[in-house]
Amino acid sequence: MSSTDIIPATQVHDATVIFIHGLGQSSSTWRADVIEPLAPSFPNVEWILPNAPKRPVTRNNGIERPSWFDIAHLPPHEDEFDQSAIRESISSVNQMIDAVVTAGLDSRRIILIGFSQGAALSLMASLSTPCSLGGVASLSGWIPHRFRQYLENQSEDRLPARILWCHGNADEDIPLSHGLDGVSFLKTSMKYSEPEKLQVNVYENLSHTINEEEIADLGDWLRKVLFNL
């Protein structure tokens, strides 16, 4: 993994959010547009923003771009699965989680958030990690089909307590149908049938990006998770 940006808590640190960017991105844009506007409302939260290493990306004719794993198509095909890089990236996320827990924080006070490919990684990591997290938020994400077999025997007490799934209905890169397929998997196979455990927000006319409404909803959801509202 490349460099990691950290925004420390301004008061007593009692929660950590790990935000994972998308393909070809870096943490800097998300820090400026999303994290820094949200951070003042969460003075007890430490924000960790890892940057992906550069890898050859098949969809971009092998050009190296910041990427958590290789991808050949957008929308992703069901049989796509860069097993080696996905395993490596999940391991990196687990190392960050372990470091926070070792420093004394309860794992249930750790939240993963990701956009697009970062959302896919956040979902895969949070659903398979050995410890239960407070929650995971997917912004325009998906759950790779070939990863789902690894989740069949995951104990319920190791799953994240809450999931937020946000998706635009005009997204052409990761269509809403991919998102709703992931939601269906969570409901039927991972037992996220209760609305308080799985919140799904669909945004009209939103393409593969975020908007102010989604940022506001993310902040409201974080309050619910961290303050037990």
pLDDT of 154 reads 82
Residue 103: which residues within 8 A CB-CB, separation 6 or more?
A: none
Which amino acids are annotated catalytic?
Answer: 116, 171, 208
Q: Which residue has the tokens 């095909």?
A: 77
pLDDT of 157 reads 82
pLDDT, tens digit (0-9, with 9 covering 90-100), for 19-51? 999 999 999 989 999 999 999 999 999 999 999
Res. 156 pLDDT band, cuts 50 70 90: confident
Q: Can you tell me the mean pLDDT for 81-94? A: 97
DSSP 52: P
pLDDT of 174 reads 98
At residue 24, the 3 state secondary structure works out as: coil
At residue 100, the 3 state secondary structure works out as: helix
Backbone phi, psi, residue 154, to 5°? -70, 130
Which tokens go with 59? Answer: 């969809």
User: How many Cα atoms occupy the beta-carbon half-sphere of 165 within 13 Å?
Assistant: 27
- Judge contact between 20 and 113, C-beta under 8 A: yes
What global pTM score does this model have? Answer: 0.97
User: How many Cα atoms occupy the beta-carbon half-sphere of 129 within 13 Å?
Assistant: 31
pLDDT of 209 reads 97
